[in-house]
């Protein structure tokens, strides 16, 4: 494991992430993120974009796609209601022979190595945790570790992005953090062609008519302002395909009738009976 020493304290660094994420939505959204990260003068500083949208619309995938364009190491941090300030910065762990190792978080590792940190679902995090990041997100660009008593400066190439869900199960951001997370980039539901492409990219083995049915369902739900997303559609199609093969009781039905039936069952089992309002009867 790679280490670095700061003010006499040895930190053990995290590993970068390489998830199998592939953005197939609007390319202009990637450009918006990259513009926020751009530095146009030696006295300029990068911005810290906030990607906002309903769960499942691809915010994390968008951030990762933009980060890959820069060709730097990418790190993720999954925020939760239980995230503590020390979780975001440095955590002590007991190693062999009772020694204490100081483990740098993915955030601190990205700061040190000049990588990109994607803070996922940031508005699930409490104000106390956000407060520990305040100096990082303005022109000071550092964090302080209470546990080790050191200050960690961000590498000039360090970039930060936060994704935030637009739902009721989140905290309100404090104003001093709100002003530091700009610009706000909104990700909406994809158009039918994009939605189908996303489904196809995730389920290349799915029959075309299954994908068409799922897109039809999702688009009807979007028009009614339901919160169902393409992630739900992927799960619906995936379970329907498994049901086509794994439910012997349905094998006697004609194939088209089976497909229609398993999709209906999948929608009900994954999203609930009310979701059937958007399925053709």
Residue ending a domain, choose from 139, 160, 186 = 186
**Three-state SS for 165?**
strand
**pLDDT tens track for 53-102:** 988 888 999 999 999 999 999 999 999 999 999 999 999 999 887 889 99
Same domain assignment for residues 34 and 144: yes
Same domain assignment for residues 151 and 24: yes
| Distant-in-sequence, close-in-space partners of 238: CB < 8 Å, separation ≥ 6 | 203
Q: Which CATH number do you get for residue 136?
A: 3.40.50.300
Instruction: Identify the residue whose tokens are 């990637």.
Output: 30
Residue ending a domain, choose from 142, 165, 186 = 186
Domain range enclosing 208: 192-278
Distance CA 169, CA 152 (A): 32
Check residue 24 and give its pLDDT: 79
pLDDT of 168 higher than 70:
no
Kindly state the average pLDDT of the residues 10-21: 92
Same domain assignment for residues 115 and 233: no
Query: Which stretches of the chain are DSSP H helices?
Result: 27-37, 59-70, 85-88, 106-113, 127-131, 175-178, 192-202, 208-223, 230-246, 255-271
pLDDT of 167 higher than 80:
no
Check residue 95 and give its pLDDT: 83
φ/ψ of 147, rounded to 5, equals: -65, -40
**pLDDT tens track for 99-136:** 899 999 999 999 999 999 999 999 899 999 999 999 99
Same domain assignment for residues 166 and 213: no
Same domain assignment for residues 214 and 82: no
pLDDT of 33 higher than 90:
yes
Kindly state the average pLDDT of the residues 268-277: 95
Kindly state the average pLDDT of the residues 255-272: 90
C-beta separation of 136 from 154 below 8 A: yes
Same domain assignment for residues 160 and 271: no
**pLDDT tens track for 205-263:** 999 999 999 999 999 999 998 989 999 999 999 999 998 887 777 767 787 888 888 99
**Can you give the length of the chain in residues?**
281
C-beta separation of 6 from 150 below 8 A: yes
């Amino acid at each position: 494991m790679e280490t670095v020493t700061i003010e006499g304290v040895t930190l053990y660094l995290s590993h970068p992430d390489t998830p199998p994420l592939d953005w197939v939505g609007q390319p202009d959204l990637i450009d918006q993120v990259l513009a926020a990260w751009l530095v146009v003068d030696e006295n300029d500083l990068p911005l810290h974009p906030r990607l906002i949208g309903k769960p499942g619309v691809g915010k994390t995938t968008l951030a990762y796609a933009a980060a890959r364009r820069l060709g730097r190491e990418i790190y993720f941090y999954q925020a939760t209601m239980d995230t503590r300030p020390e979780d975001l910065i440095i955590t002590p762990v007991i190693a062999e022979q009772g020694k204490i190792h100081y483990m740098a978080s993915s955030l601190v590792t990205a700061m040190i190595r000049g990588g990109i940190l994607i803070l996922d679902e940031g508005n699930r995090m409490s104000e106390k945790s956000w407060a520990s990041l305040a100096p990082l997100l303005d022109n000071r660009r550092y964090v302080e570790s209470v546990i080790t008593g050191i200050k960690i400066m961000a590498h000039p190439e360090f970039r930060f992005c936060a994704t935030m869900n637009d739902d009721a199960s989140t905290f309100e951001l404090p104003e001093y953090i709100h002003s530091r997370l700009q610009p706000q980039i909104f990700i909406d539901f994809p158009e039918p062609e994009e939605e189908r492409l996303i489904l196809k990219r995730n389920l290349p083995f799915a029959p075309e008519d299954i994908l068409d049915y799922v897109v039809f369902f999702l688009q009807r739900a979007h028009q009614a302002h339901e919160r169902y997303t393409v992630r739900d559609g992927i799960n619906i199609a995936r379970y329907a395909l498994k049901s086509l093969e794994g439910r012997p009781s349905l094998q006697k039905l004609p194939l088209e009738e089976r497909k229609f039936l398993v999709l209906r069952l999948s929608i009900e089992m994954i999203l609930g009976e009310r979701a059937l309002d958007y399925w053709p009867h």
